[in-house]
A and B are shown apart, each in its own frame.
Chain A
Amino acid sequence: MSTETWAIARFTVLMALVATALTLPPAIAAGWLLARRSFPGKALVETIVSLPLVLPPVATGLLLLWLFGRRSPVGQALDAIGIEVVFTWKAVVIAMMVVSFPLVARSVRSGIEQVDRRYEDLAATLGAGPFRILRTMTLPLASRGIVAGAILGFSRALGEFGATIMVAGAIPGRTQTLAVGIYTYVETGREEAAWGLVLLSALLAFGAIYASNRLVEARHA
């Protein structure tokens, strides 16, 4: 396997790790809100959170391309402070975050829903405020759901293609991920190189799924 193949794999794993780390805090917040709070418009928020799950990734990519492009206020504001997103590694991370967010948030939510609320109530009688309860009761007791969500989100980020190619392009050494690399190699007739990437993707996917299954087993043990 060529050094180029390894470089693409390393880059993809690094980007997926960064994306997962950055997705977790907002996904935990969203999962907690949906599991533990009722508020007006909750159904709407639920739908929006799940939207990237059902929207074709290419459509997500087109939306992101528009959002961070020079024609939207967001793109213009970022441009004004010298931050370029489209066609950079940041676009790769953002595309990964958007598509994996629903998976992480859903997993966190079901993890939190499985936490017996009476633990939280009891912690309150011991003088704990809402934030301490969240930090010391809810999240640790939901940790398997959170970790499973992180692994799921990481796996989804590894395989992200449609949104990435729209907003990050397919630039070798700069934005090219495993999935985009496979597509580009096939498109340009480099089938053997494509198979190398396919093999690596399969190995990574295998590892992530194996880890998450082990985790589920531990939950049932």
Chain B
Amino acid sequence: MIALTIDVTLRQQSFELQVRDTSSVEVLGLFGPSGSGKTSLLEVMAGIRTPDAGEVVVDGRVLFSSSAGINLPARDRHIGYVPQDSLLFPHLDVSGNIDYGVRHGRAEGAHRSTLIDILDLPDLLKRRVQKLSGGERQRVAIARALMTQPAVLLLDEPLAGVDRARRDRIVPYLLRIRRELHVPLIYVTHDESELNAVADRVLQLETGRVVKAGPPER
């Protein structure tokens, strides 16, 4: 469970993103058509983009607050981010990508083994990232983000780069992360049906506004 306070105003070229929501969740689902501001909201949470006003609080930790003048840099936020296109580092192999976030590497060996096991990566470690399929890229990107033991994991359309047949094989990985690692997720998609299996609260976005909030319609 994680307590989230999201109160974000971000002026974009085409519209103004304005999201207000407070919740305690394990998996928060964000859904809406493309261009509704889902990715922008994730980038604001990760610290890649600075909102014009508002505040972002994760489990009592203030990441951003315009009234208090707080804007924690991305590297101090402990928020894992998996962008839609995975964005694996092209000059590093799979191991290099997974280990990028580890700087002291000592006590984290067990955590690393667990992740490699859960995400089924042992055969991929020495591979070049250019040789991976869409689903494999997603799993590596997820492992890379989780290695830093983030307070929350942001997933942007994790099934978008994966063909229909393999989608059903990614979802179990996500469920295992939630069940075994107890990492809260914020899960972004344009397909509401994906959320039914994983989310316990869903925000529906349209042109920057929340048009519906509540539990998923199962």
Contacts and interface: CB of A to CB of B under 8 A. Distances in A.
A and B touch in the complex (CB under 8 A): yes
Interface of A: 116, 118-119, 121-129, 136-137, 140-141, 143
B75 A124 contact: yes
B48 A125 contact: yes
B89 A125 contact: no
Interface in B87-119: 87, 89-91, 100-101, 103
27 contacts: A118-B83, A118-B87, A119-B89, A121-B48, A121-B74, A122-B81, A123-B89, A124-B48, A124-B75, A125-B46, A125-B47, A125-B74, A125-B77, A125-B79, A125-B80, A125-B145, A126-B100, A126-B144, A126-B145, A127-B75, A127-B76, A127-B103, A127-B148, A128-B75, A141-B90, A141-B91, A143-B91
A141 B89 CA distance: 9
A119 B74 contact: no
Contacts of B46: 121, 125
Contacts of A143: 91
Contacts of A126: 75, 100-101, 144-145, 147-148
Interface of B: 43, 46-48, 73-77, 79-81, 83, 87, 89-91, 100-101, 103, 144-145, 147-148
Nearest to A121: B48
A128 B47 CA distance: 13
Contacts of A141: 90-91
Closest 4 CB pairs of A and B: A126-B101, A124-B74, A121-B48, A125-B81
Nearest to B90: A141
Task: Choose among A123, A125, A129, A141 the residue with the greatest number of B CB atoms under 10 Å from its CB.
Answer: A125
Contact of B100 (A116, A118, A129, A136): A136
Contacts of B100: 123, 126, 128, 136
A127 B103 CA distance: 9
Nearest to B73: A124
A123 B73 CA distance: 12
Which one of B75, B83, B145, B148 has the highest number of Cβ atoms from chain A below 10 Å of its Cβ? Answer: B75
Contacts of A124: 47-48, 73-75
Given A128-B75, A137-B89, A141-B90, A122 B148 contact: no
A140 B75 contact: no
A125 B76 CA distance: 8
Contacts of B91: 140-141, 143
A113 to B, nearest CB: 17
A82 B74 CA distance: 50
Given A126-B75, A137-B89, A143-B91, 9 more contacts: A121-B74, A122-B81, A123-B89, A124-B47, A124-B48, A125-B77, A125-B80, A125-B145, A140-B91
A58 B148 CA distance: 56
A215 to B, nearest CB: 16
Contacts of B43: 121
B75 A129 contact: yes
Nearest to A126: B101
B189 to A, nearest CB: 20
B91 to A, nearest CB: 5
Contacts of B83: 118, 122
Nearest to B100: A126
A126 to B, nearest CB: 4
A125 B83 CA distance: 11
B103 A122 contact: no
Contacts of B77: 125
Contacts of A125: 46-48, 74-75, 77, 79-81, 145
A143 B43 CA distance: 28
Nearest to A143: B91
A209 to B, nearest CB: 26
A125 B42 CA distance: 12
Contacts of B101: 126-128
A143 B90 CA distance: 13
Nearest to B79: A125
